[in-house]
Chains A and B, each alone.
Chain A
């Protein structure tokens, strides 16, 4: 019999363990509540697996170091919370245009600004999507349990490598800090994706040329013999800056398209009792846990409710949401903000069904009973 490895683990700890399993070799960060354990545990764990941890002077330096390490070939991660996530936006945009794989964890807290450091909030949904300037797409994942943090962290690394893009992992304070049982996979049970490296002659390497049949350009590591130039300016296949409008148009369309055109591969959703549901609750993270309990209570009272849970927050799960909207008479979006994901759900589902929102911003979790009451009221 295979020995199972069941442990009581904190969400933030599971994130680090998963990152290491996914191949993380570099972490740069500036600690901030409620993400600090991710830095702490990375500092302890990375040197033991031949990796490097560095505490930088601030968040911009952290994301910059992460991008540099990734360009040098190391799978890299940083973690922060709201205020630090704001600061990292500049670097996230740089990672988007330079197509540098990296994982940015945002353990959300109440905001704006320094807000409520130790209280949960889900106010960074839109910042994850549009926090950095310029037209772009992004991948953001949103787990709801310690176990799922483990698997979505690995997925975040895999997607970052596969699509050469920054991937954001959104956690709730309460999910990052709570402890649950988790069964760790044995070696070889997890699928790991590594970036595709060039095999051509060094003088033939074009760092931003996408080979026929590939999604992204092959990525050489700095110092491995391939010479290439990296810039935040619009660039052609050679990696050198250009103001050529045709090249700019092609580049931006390709960067957005590599994500938006591969939603079938990227987007993951979960559902509970939706088959015969009349009312669908849409929720993510800790709020979805309350919603699941609420669904059970509503069913006991004869109301056919179900739960739709986006695990991939960005890109938007528009196709599944439209399908959902076509079969239920009402959608209720529950989130710990005053209606961010709601705007997107209403945009794609609003023409097929009624979409309501239930939000809260006082730092307390939304309880199952409050969801039950809201659903019955409207």
Chain B
């Protein structure tokens, strides 16, 4: 039985809710049950933002994520606020720009240059969320690649498909080609 609870965190404006929607939609294409929810502060930009996705092969009752299997953190504030909610043996994907790595030895931590890749390799900081989705896919394979790509293309502005598919691929590659000293499995803290 499949049941995964994911929490995508950062600040308002980073596209985390959209990332949550895309992931949920991809799971729906795969025929799974899904609930996507979010919480945010009163601000339009900035402030804490989190999107939650529950993907399950059974019916989902309680719609919110409590302890998560996987967490994405794009800011230090979000990382600090939520890292304790990761289940033992869970996964944390954190952006490389976050200086303080949480002190947890019971989870796998990936430190990945998501925002930097969006800025430098693709030239568009706003695709950070899609790169992040690529990393989540490559680590978890929780949805199929075809569904993820279809869901991305379904939810982004028309004309940006190529850019966003490239962003996904950057995400896959960040995990595939990780260097031990900077990010990836080598960053598992024991």
Which residues in A have some Cβ–Cβ distance to B below 8 Å? 6, 8, 33, 117-119, 174-175, 177-181, 286, 289-290, 292-293, 296, 365, 367-368
State how many angstroms separate the Cβ of A11 from the closest Cβ of chain B.
10
Which residues in B have their C-beta under 8 angstroms from that of A33? 42
Chain B positions 60 through 82: 1 when the CB is less than 8 Å from some CB of chain A, otherwise 0: 01111010000000000000000
The answer to whether A179 and B36 touch across the interface, beta carbons within 8 angstroms, is: yes
Q: Does B85 contact A (CB under 8 A)?
A: no
State how many angstroms separate the Cβ of A299 from the closest Cβ of chain B.
13
The listed residue (A8, A290, A293, A296) touching B21 by CB distance below 8 A is A8
The answer to whether B35 and A178 touch across the interface, beta carbons within 8 angstroms, is: yes
Give the 4 A-B CB pairs with smallest separation, nearest first: A178-B37, A179-B36, A293-B61, A8-B25
- Please report the C-alpha to C-alpha distance between residue A178 and residue B20 in the assembled complex, in whole angstroms: 11
The answer to whether B36 and A289 touch across the interface, beta carbons within 8 angstroms, is: no
Which residues in B have some Cβ–Cβ distance to A below 8 Å? 21, 24-25, 28, 33-42, 61-64, 66
Residue pairs across A and B with CB atoms within 8 Å: the count is 55
The answer to whether A290 and B37 touch across the interface, beta carbons within 8 angstroms, is: no
The answer to whether B36 and A118 touch across the interface, beta carbons within 8 angstroms, is: no
Which residues in B have their C-beta under 8 angstroms from that of A179? 21, 24, 34-37
Which residues in B have their C-beta under 8 angstroms from that of A289? 61-63
B38 nearest CB neighbor, chain A only: A177
6 residue pairs of the A-B complex, CB under 8 angstroms, read: A6-B28, A118-B39, A178-B35, A179-B34, A289-B62, A365-B64
Q: Give the most central of A119, A181, A286, A368: most B CB within 10 Å.
A: A181
The listed residue (A6, A178, A292, A368) touching B36 by CB distance below 8 A is A178
- Please report the C-alpha to C-alpha distance between residue A95 and residue B92 in the assembled complex, in whole angstroms: 53
The answer to whether B40 and A367 touch across the interface, beta carbons within 8 angstroms, is: no
The answer to whether A181 and B33 touch across the interface, beta carbons within 8 angstroms, is: yes
Which residues in A have their C-beta under 8 angstroms from that of B63? 174-175, 178, 286, 289, 365
State how many angstroms separate the Cβ of B152 from the closest Cβ of chain A.
13
Which residues in A have their C-beta under 8 angstroms from that of B40? 118
A117 nearest CB neighbor, chain B only: B42
The listed residue (A118, A180, A365, A367) touching B35 by CB distance below 8 A is A180
